[in-house]
């Protein structure tokens, strides 16, 4: 007996078992909900804008989006070494709403840049609920002393909060009534000559017109008025590189006369020089 080419009952038996798909984790559902809510909020905002709905309604729609998961929930901060984090949070979260749509990033950057240690601030949205902040902080460059009071300055002459004594080691001391206002130009000048800057112990502002430098080895360099100071210091640096002048018994290098250098010996070096002259004179007689 011929068997049928197609047996319906065997086909039903050979049918594969259905594949069971596990229910998505709670986190996935949350992300889907947030994404859907964000799309809805964005669509409503655009629709209201197209219809010319007043600003108050647009604001209300943006605020409502925060309840759908598009509000600030996390703040990531990089580059903060000395600036207090609470002050950073205060400036970031001082607005009237935490809606990601309503964040004024430029205003946040400006407020952060006004903090004592902050030089630059970059603030970005990371959707759906995060603010990322990258800071560049100011670097202490000098101490300024006036009337017995010490202040900390950065390379631009901006006043900084005072640090513990152990963190001030190696900073040059600037003394004088307007030394803070002239500090930026002076520190840029010294930065051109790192071999001298590394030996700078302090500098005295004289008459609001020029500087006297004090080196760690004890020598003093009298610079001319500010307009001629750069050229004079460059000549001194070149002469010192060609034949070391520091640590050779000189007490003072006076560069105030253009194209000249007047030197003064230390008392010890002067006595030694006089002794050599006497020995030479006695040897020739």
CB-CB neighbours of 82 under 10 Å = 15
The Cα 24–Cα 21 span in angstroms is: 9
The Cα 26–Cα 37 span in angstroms is: 16
Note whether 26 and 49 are within 8 A (CB): no
**Closest CA relative to residue 154, chosen from 117, 191, 121, 122:** 117
The Cα 202–Cα 187 span in angstroms is: 11
Residue with token string 């240690």: 117
Note whether 101 and 62 are within 8 A (CB): yes
Q: Taken in order 188, 189, 195, 201, is the CA torsion positive or negative?
A: negative
Domains, the chain, with CATH or none: 26-137 (3.10.20.310), 140-273 (3.40.50.11690)
| DSSP string computed for 124-142 | EEETTTEEEEEEEE--EEE
The Cα 10–Cα 52 span in angstroms is: 66
Could you tell me the strand order of the sheet in which 118-126 lies? Answer: 74-78, 130-137, 118-126
Q: Give me the pLDDT at residue 158, please.
A: 96
Q: Give me the pLDDT at residue 213, please.
A: 98
By residue count, the chain amounts to: 285
The Cα 3–Cα 37 span in angstroms is: 60
The Cα 233–Cα 179 span in angstroms is: 18
Buried b (16+ CB within 10 A) or exposed e, 45-77: beebeeeeeeeeebbebbbbbbebbbbbeeeeb
Tens digit of pLDDT at every position of the chain (285 positions):
454 444 545 444 555 554 444 444 555 555 555 555 555 556 655 555 555 555 554 445 445 444 555 688 899 999 999 999 999 999 998 866 778 888 899 999 999 999 999 999 999 999 888 999 999 999 999 999 988 899 999 999 999 999 999 999 999 999 998 999 999 999 999 999 999 999 999 999 999 999 999 999 999 999 999 999 999 999 999 999 999 999 889 999 999 999 999 999 988 877 766 767 777 766 776
- Which SS3 state, helix, strand or coil, does residue 211 take? strand
Cα angle 44-48-51, degrees, rounded to a multiple of 5: 140
The Cα 36–Cα 42 span in angstroms is: 10
Give burial (CB, 10 Å; 0-12/13-18/19+) of 158. middle
Q: What is the CA radius of gyration of the chain?
A: 36
**Closest CA relative to residue 100, chosen from 129, 60, 68, 59:** 129
The Cα 46–Cα 32 span in angstroms is: 21
Residue with token string 């049918």: 15
The Cα 221–Cα 201 span in angstroms is: 12
């Amino acid at each position: 007996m011929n068997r049928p080419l197609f047996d319906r009952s065997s086909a039903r038996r050979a049918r594969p078992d259905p594949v069971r798909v596990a229910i998505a984790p709670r986190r996935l559902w949350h992300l889907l909900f947030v994404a859907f809510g964000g799309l809805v909020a964005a669509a409503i905002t655009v629709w209201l804008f197209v219809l010319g709905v007043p600003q108050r309604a647009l604001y209300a729609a943006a605020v409502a989006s925060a309840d759908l998961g598009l509000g600030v929930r996390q703040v990531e901060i990089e580059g903060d070494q000395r600036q207090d984090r609470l002050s950073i949070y205060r400036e970031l979260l001082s607005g009237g709403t935490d809606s990601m749509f309503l964040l004024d990033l430029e205003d946040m950057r400006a407020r952060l840049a006004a903090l004592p240690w902050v030089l630059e601030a970059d603030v970005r949205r990371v959707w759906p609920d995060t603010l990322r902040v990258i800071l560049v902080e100011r670097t202490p460059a000098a101490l300024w002393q006036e009337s017995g009071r010490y202040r900390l300055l950065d390379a631009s002459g901006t006043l900084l909060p005072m640090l513990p004594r152990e963190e001030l080691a190696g900073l040059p001391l600037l003394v004088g009534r307007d030394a803070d206002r002239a500090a930026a130009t002076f520190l840029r000048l010294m930065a051109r000559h790192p071999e001298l800057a590394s030996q700078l112990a302090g500098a005295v502002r004289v008459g609001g017109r020029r500087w006297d430098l004090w080196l760690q080895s004890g020598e003093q360099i009298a610079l001319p008025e500010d307009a001629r100071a750069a050229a004079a210091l460059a000549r001194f640096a070149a002469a010192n590189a060609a034949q070391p002048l520091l640590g050779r018994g000189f007490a003072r290098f006076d560069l105030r006369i253009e194209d000249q250098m007047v030197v003064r010996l230390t008392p010890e070096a002067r006595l030694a020089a006089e002794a050599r002259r006497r020995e030479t004179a006695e040897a020739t007689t």
